[in-house]
């Protein structure tokens, strides 16, 4: 079952169960997907849908940070709930040790590396780890390694 089909199925269930937070979150996700479909003439691939879901999760993480800075814990909690709903449709995120292992593999395949190679390595990492790891976390670990 595709991500979009899962979202639609869960949305129907949430509507039947009258779970308003799930309904509103999934409707927003479907809206984001529909917007991207309207921008292009062809159907979205599974990777494109995954990217949209990733962006939705990232937006919520940023909102949580901003709400906490403003001492609006009520809104931050709402965003956390929405984030947990959105994360159901994302693949399992890699642990820090798995990310370090992927970085080590790429560095060993390149050979001698320096800080100047950061962009090249980061690009290759994000291509390999697409959807499996948070970019900010990968960047932080790579900076420590270099």
Mind listing the pLDDT tens digit for each residue in 78-111? 999 999 999 999 888 888 888 888 888 888 887 7
The tokens describing 21, both together, are 């937070």
Q: Return the CATH fold of 3-89.
A: Hypothetical Protein Yqey; Chain: A; domain1 (1.10.1510)
pLDDT of residue 136 exceeding 90? no
- The mean-pLDDT minimum among 26-40, 42-56, 57-71 falls in 42-56
132: how many CB neighbours lie within 10 A of its CB? 15
pTM of the model: 0.75
Cβ pair 138, 99 in contact under 8 A? yes
Q: What CA–CA distance (Å, rounded) separates 83 from 118?
A: 30
Q: How many angstroms separate the most distant Cα atoms in the chain?
A: 58
Q: What CA–CA distance (Å, rounded) separates 58 from 134?
A: 9
CATH class of 96-145: mainly alpha
Cβ pair 83, 123 in contact under 8 A? no
Share of the chain above pLDDT 70, in %: 99
Q: What single-letter DSSP state applies at residue 70?
A: T
pLDDT of residue 14 exceeding 90? yes
Q: Do domains 3-89 and 96-145 have the same CATH topology?
A: no
Domain map (residue ranges) of the chain:
3-89, 96-145
Q: What pLDDT, on a 0 to 100 scale, did the predictor assign at position 45?
A: 86
Q: What pLDDT, on a 0 to 100 scale, did the predictor assign at position 17?
A: 95
- The mean-pLDDT minimum among 33-42, 46-55, 74-83 falls in 33-42
Q: What pLDDT, on a 0 to 100 scale, did the predictor assign at position 41?
A: 64
Q: What CA–CA distance (Å, rounded) separates 140 from 89?
A: 25
Q: What pLDDT, on a 0 to 100 scale, did the predictor assign at position 20?
A: 95
Radius of gyration of the chain (CA): 18
Mean pLDDT score of the chain: 89
Regarding predicted confidence, which is higher, 41 or 39?
39
């Amino acid at each position: 079952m595709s991500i979009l089909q899962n979202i639609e199925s869960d949305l129907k269930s949430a509507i039947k169960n009258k779970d308003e937070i799930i309904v509103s979150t999934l409707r927003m996700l479907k809206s984001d997907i529909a917007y991207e479909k309207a921008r292009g003439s062809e159907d979205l691939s599974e990777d494109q849908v995954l990217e949209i879901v990733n962006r939705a999760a990232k937006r919520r993480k940023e909102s949580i940070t901003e709400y906490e800075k403003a001492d609006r814990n009520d809104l931050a909690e709402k965003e956390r709930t929405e984030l947990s709903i959105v994360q159901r449709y994302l693949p399992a995120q890699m642990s820090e040790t798995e990310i370090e292992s992927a970085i080590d593999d790429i560095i060993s395949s390149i050979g001698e590396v320096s800080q100047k190679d950061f962009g090249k390595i980061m690009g290759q990492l994000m291509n390999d780890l697409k959807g499996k790891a948070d970019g900010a976390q990968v960047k932080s670990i790579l900076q420590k390694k270099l």
